[in-house]
A = this chain, B = another copy of it.
């Protein structure tokens, strides 16, 4: 076989691409066999279930994401920032039909922080805009704010906003109050409240439940999303203040960050994230060969 296999292997999803040597996408597939689903075993079988038909010889594979964590196929050491997004030795695993290289994640000593997978997205973004100087926002369950300058990641910070929202929506006593009803105005109010009075977050949460009991259904989920996003914007001020800010991604989550940053008075650009992981994996492959 010529070409190679690109793999983005996260907590909940496995995505693979069959690539030519010229980095054209020849085929793609994905499954729910994320790291948390697999529970520490069956990595090769999960990968071959998607990519087995593409392979004739032991195939070179480049992978990023939680597959390099302690719960993944093989743990890769973090590279400390400041650092280029890609570099250092990849961790290698040889299976019967595969030769796998895992991209190392990045760490920061103070304040303590880690990333696995986002470094590859950032490399992909920089491969398309190599002079970028500013802040990248990568929305997700654990949103990352990343200060990039002169081709290096200078510092970064992760926020649990997405996970907190999901926990409160599904597991907390607020759950019955958080219906499907959405309102941009309620979201914006939540954001504005936290930007002007970030100390009020703890006081606002139970009010969503009480408001539902006393006044009936309303857009409480949008208010909660606004409060949590606004709280993150307030806490990330040292990142966005006075810097060029690009939000990577599309969909409602990205739209929320864009609206909230706009409310904080900072201009913000957005860039689609769909191709940058693949561009980053290709850049890592280029370092290899």
- The docked-state distance in angstroms from the alpha carbon of A112 to that of B282 is 53
This chain's copy number in the assembly: 2
Interface SS of A by simple majority: helix
**In whole Å, how far is A236's beta carbon from the nearest beta carbon of chain B?**
7
* Residues of B close to A214: CB separation below 8 A: 78, 107, 109, 112, 114
Q: Are B167 and A171 in contact (CB under 8 A)?
A: yes
Structural contact, B172 and A163, CB atoms closer than 8 A:
yes
Give how many A residues have a beta carbon under 8 Å from the other chain's beta carbons.
43
> For residue A206, which residues in chain B have a CB less than 8 angstroms away from its CB?
113, 142, 157-160
The contact string, 1 if C-beta is below 8 Å from chain B, for chain A 152-184, is 000001111101100110011110000000000
Q: Which residues of B contact A111 (CB under 8 A)?
A: 203, 207, 210
Q: Which of B113, B173, B215 contacts A210 (CB 8 A)?
A: B113
**A235-B199 in contact given A158-B206, A172-B163, A214-B107 (Cβ < 8 Å):** yes
- Report chain B residues within 8 Å CB of A113: 206-207, 210
Contact of A202 among B171, B203, B232 (CB under 8 A): B232
Q: Which of B171, B210, B228 contacts A114 (CB 8 A)?
A: B210
Whether B236 contacts A160 by the Cβ 8 Å rule is: no
Bound CA–CA A157/B210 (angstroms): 10
Instruction: Decide if A160 touches B202 in the complex (CB within 8 Å).
Output: yes
Q: Is the CB of A235 within 8 A of B173?
A: no
Residues B173 and A202 in contact, CB atoms below 8 Å apart:
no
Whether the pair B199, A237 counts as a contact (CB closer than 8 A) is: yes
Interface of chain A residues 193 through 231 with chain B (CB within 8 A): 198-203, 205-207, 210-211, 213-215, 228, 231
Residues of B within 8 A of A200 (CB): 235
